[in-house]
């Protein structure tokens, strides 16, 4: 069976999804303040590499751990859920099959303990 990475369309598709995802995130006043001082070009590249790896693609991710990356941000469950919802909505808009969206969201939800309240 093909990896989620392959089923979603590979690196270019992941990069396009990340761009669309961040459009939603940056328009959302409940979470956009987390990105006020963020180099979004670097963030998009970083997120593309992370998702590529997390979804079974090649490992080009060299970032810090989820816990370290979100340390001191005091992300609350409602922030995490808003970000996850933006990702699910993006994947839906891109025509990703529901079973694959659910698989992606399952992977993302597993990261919650490393992101929330850090």
Name the maximum alpha-carbon separation found in the chain.
41
* C-alpha distance from residue 86 to each of 60, 92, 103 (Å): 24, 10, 15
To the question of whether residue 70 is assigned a binding role by annotation, the answer is yes
Q: How far, in Å, CA of 10 to CA of 101, rounded?
A: 15
Element (H, E) at 51: helix 40-54
Q: Which residues are annotated as a binding site for heme?
A: 46, 70
The annotation places the binding site at 46, 70
């Amino acid at each position: 069976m093909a990896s989620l990475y392959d089923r979603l369309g590979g690196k270019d598709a992941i990069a396009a999804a990340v761009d669309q995802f961040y459009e939603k995130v940056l328009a959302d006043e409940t979470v956009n303040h987390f990105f006020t001082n963020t180099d979004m070009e670097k963030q998009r590249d970083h997120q593309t590499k992370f998702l590529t790896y997390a979804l079974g693609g090649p490992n080009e991710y060299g970032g810090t751990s989820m816990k370290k990356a979100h340390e001191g941000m005091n992300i609350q469950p409602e922030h995490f859920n808003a970000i996850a919802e933006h990702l699910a909505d993006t994947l839906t808009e891109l025509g990703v099959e529901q079973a694959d969206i659910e698989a992606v969201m399952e992977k993302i939800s597993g990261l919650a303990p490393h992101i929330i309240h850090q």
